[in-house]
Amino acid sequence: MNYKKTLETAEDAAALAVAFSAHLKGGDCLLLSGPVGAGKTHFARSIIQAMMARDGLVEDVPSPTFTLVQVYESSVGEVWHTDLYRLTHVDELTELGLDDAFDTAITLVEWPDRLGAARPPRHLDLTFSMPDIESDMRVLEIHAVGDSWDWLSDV
């Protein structure tokens, strides 16, 4: 399944992330790609904040650029937000526990190209692009790998 969404504003991206958050469950993995500033962290942050809000929590969601991983507890289970930009070797994934998280947690992975062959077999590839760097508009291409992504047609 492939989808393409034009997001005119940052608010449009956040609204789409909120819609995604209502469907995510343990074992779901979103691989967020795109250049610096394309909206990967904004999208992941919006998903996490929406999930926390449903639990009555307000959460500051910093970028995990320097920590590599931030883990959040939600009513649907753990949510792992990872930024692999600073990853130096794929073996570090095991040290982070990311390979186990793919099985049980909702994982939001920025810079997934660093995963190499460690990509989970079932995931969503979300690729953000900026056709015009002067505007807030983003284009999001979504490619579903594996099954159980039928809800994508509703968002």
DSSP 94-147: HHHTHHHHHHHSEEEEESGGGGGGG--SSEEEEEEE-S-TTSS-EEEEEEEESS
In a domain? residue 57: yes
Number of Cβ within 10 Å of residue 121's Cβ equals 8
In a domain, 32, yes or no: yes
128 within a domain of the structure (yes/no): yes
Q: Which two tokens stand for residue 122?
A: 């079932």
8 A C-beta contact, residue 87 and residue 110: no
- Distance, C-alpha 63 to centroid of its chain: 12
- For the segment 104-118, what is each residue's pLDDT rounded down to a tens digit? 999 999 999 999 888
**pTM exceeds cut of 0.85:** yes
pLDDT tens per residue, range 78-113: 999 999 988 877 777 778 888 899 999 999 999 999
Q: Is residue 151 part of a domain?
A: no
Considering the chain, what percentage of its residues have pLDDT values greater than 70?
A: 98
Domain that includes residue 19, residue range: 9-101+113-134
| Largest interatomic CA distance in the chain | 40
> pLDDT tens digits for 48-69?
999 999 888 777 776 776 678 8
Distance CA 84, CA 135 (A): 27
The number of folded domains in the chain is 1
Q: Which CATH number does the domain housing residue 39 bear?
A: 3.40.50.300
Identify the burial level of 41 via C-beta atoms within 10 angstroms of its C-beta, where 0-12 means exposed, 13-18 middle and 19 or more buried: buried
Q: Is residue 142 part of a domain?
A: no
pLDDT at position 66 is 66
| 145 located within any domain | no
Is 154 within the bounds of a domain?
no
pLDDT tens per residue, range 1-57: 899 999 999 999 999 999 999 999 999 999 999 999 999 999 999 999 999 998 887
> Is 107 inside a domain boundary?
no
Tell me if residue 23 falls in helix, strand or coil: coil
**DSSP bridge pairs for 100:** none
